[in-house]
Amino acid sequence: MVIVMKLNASEEEITAINEELKRYGLEGHLIHGVNRIVIGAVGDREALLSQGLEMMPGVEKIVPIMRPYKLVSREAQEERTIVRIKAAAIGGSEVVVAAGPCAVESREQVELTAAQVKAAGAKLLRGGAYKPRTSPYSFQGMEEEGLKILADVGEKYGLVTVTEVVDLPSLDVAREYVDMVQIGARNMQNFRLLKAVGESGKPVLLKRGLSATIEEWLMAAEYVMAAGNAQIVLCERGIRTFEPTTRNTLDLSAVPIVKELSHLPVIVDPSHATGAARWVGAMSRAAVAAGADGLLIEVHPNPAKALSDGPQSLTPVAFARLTQEIRQVALAVGREFAGEGMLSR
């Protein structure tokens, strides 16, 4: 249920509603929209309806939410959420790009990549310090040392830093270094981790699970938001199907569908979806045309030598060319892109 407050509702009236909800074992979540203030009430619907809250001062109306995900739904908040982190605003008019290596391998590697992707228009620097790999013999990441490198380089080039956390200990360490944490596909339904990320207050990039439905994906976001964190960016990265040609099957239809169902921003990861650098460009352009609020693209100064996911990584020069194309598509669909796609040699 959503309690819609009057435009002139006072802080005292809002507090009174929250106190009343607590009295009956319900949990209230305050959502500040552009044109209204609402309180998302999570709990027994019949208990809420029986308390006469609609008659309390400051209340305009009570609206039932039929979907299982309450707080992330468009019914709870009509206005789109814009996640603001430093100079990046994800979910607004600008298409925002996060770029960087799959794994942090060295300071030189990250710094070289950061300088080039920044010049091409990226706002976020991504890099993995904890790598959940299919094989236990594959490179597992530099962990805290990798986080230090990512934080230092991000600050030097004015880029928002984002990295994946894989469990509660890695979250505790990462939150001290990076601006945004990522929940990977394999952890989309790690509910303890989702709750902890919600409680951390850190902006979160939530990837869709390998075989997750859209509803399951949004319910994962609900876990984060119910724990108190509304700074959520959803990321479509392809799902597992019968088709073996690509690494995953990129579900671009999820972009407009999720934007219809939820107020949260949606970005697309064409690198993990396709698994091949030669297809990343086409899927990036298609994602922007479909309405994606941003892209997550793997870039490595020497993909042939990459310790993780080299075949799907673009070179900095290829990335710069792609941002020129992204900018044209963004403009064609009424969006903006800050990068000029300056080529690096």
74-86 pLDDT per residue, tens: 988 889 999 999 9
In tens, the pLDDT along 16-26 reads 888 887 777 77
Same-domain pairing of 38 and 167: no
Strand partners, 128: 103
Q: If pLDDT is split at 50, 70 and 90, which confidence band does 5 have?
A: confident
Same-domain pairing of 250 and 295: yes
Containing domain of residue 34, as a range? 2-63
Q: Is residue 339 part of a domain?
A: no
Mean pLDDT value of segment 68-79 = 87
Mean pLDDT value of segment 221-238 = 95
Q: If pLDDT is split at 50, 70 and 90, which confidence band does 32 have?
A: low
Mean pLDDT value of segment 150-159 = 97
Compute the CA torsion angle 91, 216, 231, 101 (nearest 10 deg). Answer: -80
Mean pLDDT value of segment 152-165 = 97
pLDDT tops 80 at residue 27: no
Mean pLDDT value of segment 138-148 = 82
Q: Is residue 68 part of a domain?
A: no
- Pick the most confident of 24-33, 45-54, 87-96, 128-137: 87-96
pLDDT tops 70 at residue 338: yes
Same-domain pairing of 52 and 98: no
Q: If pLDDT is split at 50, 70 and 90, which confidence band does 343 have?
A: very low
Mean pLDDT value of segment 317-340 = 92
* Total number of domains constituting the chain: 2
**Contact 273/252 with Cβ under 8 angstroms?**
no
Q: Is residue 56 part of a domain?
A: yes
Mean pLDDT value of segment 108-123 = 97
Q: Is residue 166 part of a domain?
A: yes
Please give the pLDDT value at position 135: 64
Q: If pLDDT is split at 50, 70 and 90, which confidence band does 67 have?
A: confident
Same-domain pairing of 100 and 184: yes
Backbone dihedral angles phi then psi of residue 35, each to the nearest 5 degrees: -110, -5
- Write down how long the chain is: 345
Q: Is residue 167 part of a domain?
A: yes
Please give the pLDDT value at position 44: 57
Q: Is residue 71 part of a domain?
A: no
Same-domain pairing of 322 and 217: yes
Q: How much of the chain, in percent, has pLDDT values that exceed 70?
A: 90
Same-domain pairing of 39 and 103: no
Backbone dihedral angles phi then psi of residue 63, each to the nearest 5 degrees: -120, 125
Across 272-315, where does the E strand assignment appear?
294-298
Q: Is residue 70 part of a domain?
A: no
Same-domain pairing of 255 and 110: yes
Same-domain pairing of 214 and 264: yes
Q: If pLDDT is split at 50, 70 and 90, which confidence band does 15 have?
A: confident
Nearest partner of 200 among 182, 215, 185, 218, judged by Cα: 182
Same-domain pairing of 306 and 176: yes
Same-domain pairing of 165 and 275: yes
Across the chain, what does the average pLDDT equal? 89
Q: Is residue 120 part of a domain?
A: yes
Q: Domain of 261: which CATH number?
A: 3.20.20.70
Across the chain, where does the E strand assignment appear?
2-5, 27-32, 37-42, 59-63, 83-85, 88-90, 96-100, 124-126, 160-165, 180-183, 204-207, 232-236, 266-268, 294-298
pLDDT tops 60 at residue 344: no
**Contact 316/331 with Cβ under 8 angstroms?**
no
pLDDT tops 90 at residue 182: yes
By CB atoms closer than 10 A (0-12, 13-18, 19+), residue 307 is: buried
Strand partners, 39: 3, 30
Please give the pLDDT value at position 56: 83
Same-domain pairing of 181 and 245: yes
Kind and range of the H or E run holding 224: helix 214-226
In tens, the pLDDT along 291-320 reads 999 999 999 999 999 998 899 999 999 999
Q: If pLDDT is split at 50, 70 and 90, which confidence band does 106 have?
A: very high
Strand partners, 61: 4
Same-domain pairing of 122 and 231: yes
